[in-house]
Structure 1
Amino acid sequence: MSTLEGMKLVAMKRPGAQPQIVQRRNRLIGKIWEQTELAKAQQEGKTFQPTRFRSVKDAETGERRNVESPKRVRAWWFTAENGKLCMHVRYGAKTLELAKGKTAIEVGATDNLIPTLDALKAAVAAGELDAQLEAASATMRSGFARK
C-alpha cells in the first residue's frame, strides 16, 4: 500500500462524451498534423501517403472485409500571384474565414510553412478558431437538413 499512499487519489467519474467543440478542434488538429507531415515529406523530397481502412464487399462471396487503402491528402498551401506562399485552412470541404473577409495566411517561403502550421495547431488547441469551426459546422449541417 505504500505505493498508493504516494499518489493523489480522487473520486472521479469518466465523462461519457467530449463536448462537440472539443471534437471539432481534435478533428482540425488531426488535419493540421497531416498537412505538417505532408510539408515535411515535400521538403525531404519524399511522399506522404497515410492509409485508412475501408469496408469492401467481395463480389463472389458477398462477404464484407476491411481493406487498407491509401488516403489522398491535398496540400492547403499554394503560390499566390505575388510569388509568396499562402495557405487556406480547411474544415471538411469548407475554407475557414480566419478574419472578416480573409481566408488565407501568407506564409512567405516554404521554410516558414511548418512553423506556421505548428502555430495554427496551437491556436486551434487554445480555442481561437471555435467561432469559425462552429460556423463551418452549421453550414455543413444545413446541407443535411430535411426539406
Structure 2
Amino acid sequence: MTTATALSTLKLTDARKPTQASPQVQRRNKLIRRIWQQTELARAHASGGQFTIKRFRTFTDVTTGARKQIETDVRVKPWWFTAANGKLAISVRYGSRVLEIAPKKLAVEVGTERDLIAVLDTIKAAVTAGELDAQIESAATILRAAFAK
C-alpha cells in the first residue's frame, strides 16, 4: 500500500509569472486606478467627507544637503460636473486628455449624485473588458508626443 504525499495531490506546471504586463494592460490599469480614485471621491463627497491620496515627496534639505522624504496629500479633482441642461455628467480622463467615449461623445450623463458610483463602476467594467482600448491608446500617443517636444 502506498501513501500519497501532499505534493502528489497537486497539479504541477512549469508556468512562470510574467515579469512585465503589456503596455495595453498597463494603460488599462492606470485608468482603472484613476476610476477607483473617482469612486472613492464620490463616496466621500456623498458622506460629506474629503478624499485625498498620500504620496511621498523627496527633497534635498538646503542646510544639510541630506535627502528627505515627507508625506504629502494629493488632491483628487472630480471628473464630474453640472452640464448645461442642469444634469450631472462625468467625463473620463486619461492623464490630461478627455477620452472620447463614443464618436463625438465626451461625457456620460449621470443624472444625480446617487447614480455617480454606479456609472463609475460601469465605466470601470468597460475599461477592464477592453472597450476603451482604442481611445486610451489614442490619448496615450498624444500625451507621449507632447513630452517628446
Q: Is the shorter-chain TM-score for this pair beyond 0.5, marking a shared fold?
A: yes
| Residue number in structure 2 paired with 1:23 | 26
Q: CA deviation at 1:145?
A: 2.5
| Residue number in structure 2 paired with 1:54 | 57
| Residue number in structure 1 paired with 2:46 | 43
Task: Tell me which amino acid in the other structure corresponds to 2:29.
Answer: N
Identity of aligned residues (%): 49
The match for 2:106 among 95, 103, 122 is 103
| Residue number in structure 2 paired with 1:64 | 67
Q: Which has the larger radius of gyration?
A: 2
Structure 1 length-normalised TM: 0.95
User: Given the alignment of the two structures, is residue 113 of structure 1 paired with residue 94 of structure 2, yes or no?
Assistant: no
* 3-state DSSP of counterpart to 1:55: strand
**Aligned-residue CA RMSD in angstroms?**
1.2
Q: CA deviation at 1:124?
A: 0.4
Q: Distance in 1 between matches of 2:6 and 2:122?
A: 40
**Cα deviations across residues 48-89 of structure 1 (Å, max 9, x unaligned)?**
111111111111111112211001100000011111100010
Q: CA deviation at 1:40?
A: 0.2
Q: CA deviation at 1:6?
A: 2.9
The match for 1:127 among 114, 130, 136 is 130
Structure 2 length-normalised TM: 0.93
Alignment gaps of 5+ in structure 1: none
Higher mean C-alpha deviation, range 48-57 or range 3-12: 3-12
Alignment gaps of 5+ in structure 2: none
Q: Distance in 2 between matches of 1:3 and 1:76?
A: 52
* 3-state DSSP of counterpart to 1:83: coil
The match for 2:13 among 10, 14, 39 is 10
